[in-house]
Amino acid sequence: MRKQSLLKGTLILGIAGILAKSMGILFRWPLIMLIGDEGIGYYQMSYPLYTFFIAVASGIPIAVSKMVSEKNAIGDKSGAVQVLKNALFLMLILGGGFSAFLIVFSRQLLELFKWHENSYYALVAISFAPLIISIMNSIRGFFQGMQNMYPTAVSQVIEQLGRVCIGVGLAYVLLPKGIQYSAGGAAFGAAAGGFLAGTYLIYKYLRVRHEFDGIRVKRDSRILGKLLRLAIPVSLGAATSSIMGLLDSLIVPSGLLQAGFNSVQAATLFGQLTGKAMVLVSVPLTLSVALCASIVPTISDANILGKRNEVISKVNMAIRISWVIALPCVLGLYFMAAPILGLIFPGHADGYKILQVLCLTIPFIITLQTSTSMLQAIGRIYAPIINLCLGCFIKVIITYSLVSMPSINVYGAAIGSIVGYMIASVLNFRLLKRTLKISINYYDILIKPAFAAILMIIAVVFTYMYVYNITVSNGVSCLVSVAAGGILYSILIFVFGVFKYSYIKRRFLRQ
């Protein structure tokens, strides 16, 4: 089975993730054209429950990745297969139970969270996804543990393609029945995409299963216990982030009502926050998620073999990649918020100021995600959860206090996210430095990428203005300027020595 380095694995998953996110944005565009911000609001009100399950279940694939990597490092292929079998057992119970819970108690959940009754159909439709996603994520964890990122990458694209085609198709077909039914059809796309991606992953696993022929898979009761010990704290941490989204869906709409907005205006503002701003902010976070998926198995592999220098080297590289990703993204989304929303949602570009505020969370979220993965890989499982819980607590207090103020309204949720993630990421980073006793070269890791990103955004803004004066087309100007900025930034990263070509050639081109 093919293995990839940290950089190559990150790039493979990053490209697939960006492609999947791009399709996800294309998914939002026809939806907004069909059902508007109000319909997106109904769709988004139920979506946090689905993401909450994904967060709760996320510990299993990460634990699988870590344990499979460790088993593979010491040549225990039988143990690697046993890890996957135990993970599938756990995830089937968890996913099936959550799907049944959502279906049976959907009406009660609407009353509990005080959601609009029109969001009922989206909630029921998305209830089928957890069971399917459970199987898919277990197999993804297995391949990531074997340090083969291709199956996960391809499955991400398949999943999103199925969600877009089937979700938008159902939304269109059901639109004559009402916006609420159309939103429900769109939500069902999550289950459909997961089914297609899961089918592909099962096929890929059966194809590589021959590598384990002749190996007797021994039943080991300790594997299930270790899976749970690793998965539960990871899931708690991920669930805390998801709970922040759930609390937003509870606090923000009701807070906007207290601020004097009517129910439709509240749903519209909530749709702009979660259906536009959060979606665009999540695009660069896809690269961070790809980095995290590569970090856990590669650092776990080196850590269990006692290769301290290799662990420190990979930690430094991961931090460097994090800031190379974060800085241009936050500047690009801040200064190009209106043109980008105008490009993706023609005629529905309201909410760009919300995006400008929310995008300031990107550096802190990426730092938090990567530092959490590195700490988990070296065995510090619980500390990142405590830090995240503290950040979540502060975020809730700020959001609750600010959203109900008419002059701040929905921006209070974005401000709360900035402060909460900033505190959690700083605490994580300090713990990582103290645990590994490493010193960070901030000039190479932060100052150089920052300088390159500033030059990039200056070029992007001037290019946009120049092209717009010639073409009078926001779409053409936005695409040309962003493409030019991406090319310039890539060149500057090498010119300033953030990455050296010799390292890229050694770690990527030859692997």
Residue 295 has pLDDT above 90, yes or no: no
Nearest to 318 by CA among 387, 375, 362, 361: 375
Sign of the CA dihedral running 200, 20, 98, 220: positive
Provide mean pLDDT across the span 302-310: 75
Provide mean pLDDT across the span 478-506: 84
Distance separating alpha carbons of residues 278 and 322, to the nearest angstrom: 19
Distance separating alpha carbons of residues 57 and 50, to the nearest angstrom: 11
Provide mean pLDDT across the span 9-33: 76
Mean confidence (pLDDT) of the chain: 83
Provide mean pLDDT across the span 239-268: 81
Residue 73 has pLDDT above 70, yes or no: yes
- Percent helix, strand, coil in the chain (nearest 5)? 85, 0, 15
pLDDT, tens digit, 9 for 90 and up, residues 177-214: 988 888 888 889 888 998 999 999 999 888 887 666 55
Least reliable range by pLDDT among 72-76, 213-217, 240-244, 305-309: 213-217
pLDDT, tens digit, 9 for 90 and up, residues 100-159: 898 888 888 888 777 778 888 888 888 888 888 888 888 988 888 887 888 888 998 999
Provide mean pLDDT across the span 31-58: 76
Instruction: Give the global pTM.
Output: 0.74
Q: Which two tokens stand for residue 375?
A: 């700490």
pLDDT, tens digit, 9 for 90 and up, residues 241-251: 666 776 787 88
Least reliable range by pLDDT among 27-41, 215-229, 250-264, 488-502: 215-229
- Radius of gyration (C-alpha) of the chain in whole angstroms: 22
Q: Residue 66 — very low, low, confident or very high, per pLDDT cuts 50/70/90?
A: confident
Q: Residue 314 — very low, low, confident or very high, per pLDDT cuts 50/70/90?
A: confident
Least reliable range by pLDDT among 4-18, 267-281, 325-339: 4-18
Q: Which two tokens stand for residue 109?
A: 């959940």
Residue 317 has pLDDT above 60, yes or no: yes
Residue 260 region, left (φ>0) first, then alpha (ψ -120 to 50), else beta? left
Q: What is the pLDDT of residue 511?
A: 46
Q: Which two tokens stand for residue 69?
A: 């990597």
Q: Residue 510 — very low, low, confident or very high, per pLDDT cuts 50/70/90?
A: very low
Tell me 491's DSSP state: H
Residue 388 has pLDDT above 50, yes or no: yes
